[in-house]
């Protein structure tokens, strides 16, 4: 079955649409766009040049994909937005292309949920199974690990990171890195409140997994240690579990500092 394109939609002849693609009324798909099999693009959506969508994505009404970066240094260079499979992109969501200074691409994984009015800026990297609640916003160059949840009306400063399986509460103002597996919240003062236990259990983490992570977090948050000393002690521990190693590597790679 070929693509089903509403009579009022505009699809550039050079756009590549897979089998079973649906394009709603008054949607615009520009030159060079690639859309995978079974993807649905709602009415009044705009998909700009440089955008590649995988299979079975559902893009709801009025969303704009692959728009120009909101970066004063951008001078019209060829950059891309790459989106995986089975994402749900709700109404009025905006996902921008990359910039030359940020590697030229914004990358979104698979099976993510972007609720209404969310924004992903240039050069961001998002994993799989991420949830961004309504009006959550990523500035340029942010990274969000797989299975992370970002609450509504939360904003991330440019180059901030959210680790895998972390939960960030709504109305948070994030200007540093959020460690993996954590529950973090705050506007005037952002704090880590411990493990995201409910989320981790839902993902199949065992009691031993949680016990090891809890011990690592107790050390990481020890008020008698500064961040560098806590990391050094964590790194020196033998027989770290795979999840604790992920935590340690995240802390080591931080440029902006990590919330404790």
Instruction: Give the rounded percent of residues in the chain with a pLDDT score beyond 90.
Output: 99
Average pLDDT over residues 208-224: 97
Residues 10 and 134 in one domain: yes
Which pTM value belongs to this model? Answer: 0.97
For residue range 129-144, list pLDDT tens digits in order: 999 999 999 999 999 9
H or E element: which one contains 252? helix 242-252
pLDDT (0 to 100) of residue 116? 98
Concerning whether 222 is annotated as a catalytic residue, the answer is no
User: Is 208 within a domain?
Assistant: yes
123 is catalytic: yes
| pLDDT band for position 118 (cuts 50, 70, 90) | very high
Measured over all CA atoms, what is the biggest interatomic distance in the chain, rounded to whole angstroms?
Answer: 67
Cα–Cα distance list, 98 to 41, 68, 79, 107, 205 (Å): 22, 8, 5, 9, 35
| Domain final position from 121, 141, 161 | 141
38, 42, 123, 147: which one is catalytic?
A: 123
Higher pLDDT pick, 2 / 243: 243
Among residues 120, 141, 162, the one where a domain terminates is 141
Residues 89 and 218 in one domain: no
Q: Within a domain: residue 149?
A: no
Residues 6+ apart with CB under 8 A from 256: 157, 159, 160, 161, 175, 176, 177
Tokens of residue 147, six digits: 């299975």
Residues 137, 205 within the same domain = no
What is the CATH number for 228?
1.20.1180
Over residues 2-54, the pLDDT tens digits come to 999 999 999 999 999 999 999 999 999 999 999 999 999 999 999 999 999 99
Tokens standing for residue 83: 């989106």
Q: Is the pLDDT of residue 227 over 80?
A: yes
Residue 115's pLDDT band, with cuts at 50, 70 and 90, is: very high
Domain identity same for 116 and 237: no
Can you give the length of the chain in residues? 260
> Exactly one of 36, 50, 98, 140 is catalytic; which is it?
140
Residue 55 sits in a domain whose CATH number is 2.160.10.10
Residue 252: name the closest of 220, 224, 222 by CA: 220
List all residues 6 or more positions away from 213 whose beta carbon is below 8 Å from its beta carbon: 181, 195, 200, 205, 241, 243, 244, 247
Vertex 168 angle, CA 163 and 170, to 5°:
155
181-196 confidence digits (pLDDT tens): 999 999 999 999 999 9
Domain that holds residue 85: 4-141
Kindly state the helix (H) or strand (E) to which residue 250 belongs, with its residue range.
Answer: helix 242-252
Say whether 140 is catalytic.
yes
Mean pLDDT of the chain: 98
Counted domains in the chain: 2
Do 219 and 103 share a structural domain?
no
Residues 209, 136 share a domain: no
Residue 41 has a pLDDT of 98
Cα 112 from Cα 41, distance rounded (Å): 16
Single out the catalytic residue among 44, 48, 122, 147: 122
* pLDDT confidence bin for 232, thresholds 50/70/90: very high
Q: Is the pLDDT assigned to residue 1 strictly greater than 80?
A: no
């Amino acid at each position: 079955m070929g693509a089903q394109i509403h009579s009022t939609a505009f699809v550039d002849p050079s756009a590549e649409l897979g089998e079973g693609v649906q394009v709603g009324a008054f949607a615009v798909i520009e030159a060079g766009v690639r859309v995978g099999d079974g993807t649905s693009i709602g009415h009044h959506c705009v998909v700009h040049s440089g955008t590649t969508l995988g299979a079975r994505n559902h893009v709801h009404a009025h969303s704009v994909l692959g728009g120009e970066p909101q970066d004063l240094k951008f001078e019209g260079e060829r950059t891309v937005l790459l989106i995986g499979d089975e994402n749900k992109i709700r109404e009025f969501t905006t996902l921008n292309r990359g910039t030359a200074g940020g590697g030229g691409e914004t990358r979104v994984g698979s099976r993510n949920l972007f609720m209404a009015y969310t924004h992903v800026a240039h050069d961001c990297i998002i994993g799989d199974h991420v949830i961004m609640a309504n009006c959550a916003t990523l500035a340029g160059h942010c990274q969000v690990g797989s299975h992370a949840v970002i609450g509504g009306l939360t904003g991330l400063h440019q180059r901030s990171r959210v680790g895998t399986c972390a939960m960030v509460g709504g109305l948070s103002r994030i200007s540093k890195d959020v460690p993996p597996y954590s529950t973090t919240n705050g506007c005037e003062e952002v704090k880590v409140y411990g493990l995201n236990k409910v989320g981790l259990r839902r993902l199949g983490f065992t009691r031993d997994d949680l016990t090891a992570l809890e011990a690592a977090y107790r050390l990481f948050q020890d008020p008698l240690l500064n961040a560098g000393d806590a990391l050094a002690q964590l790194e020196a521990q033998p027989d770290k579990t795979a999840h604790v190693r992920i935590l340690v590597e995240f802390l080591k790679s931080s440029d902006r500092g990590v919330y404790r």
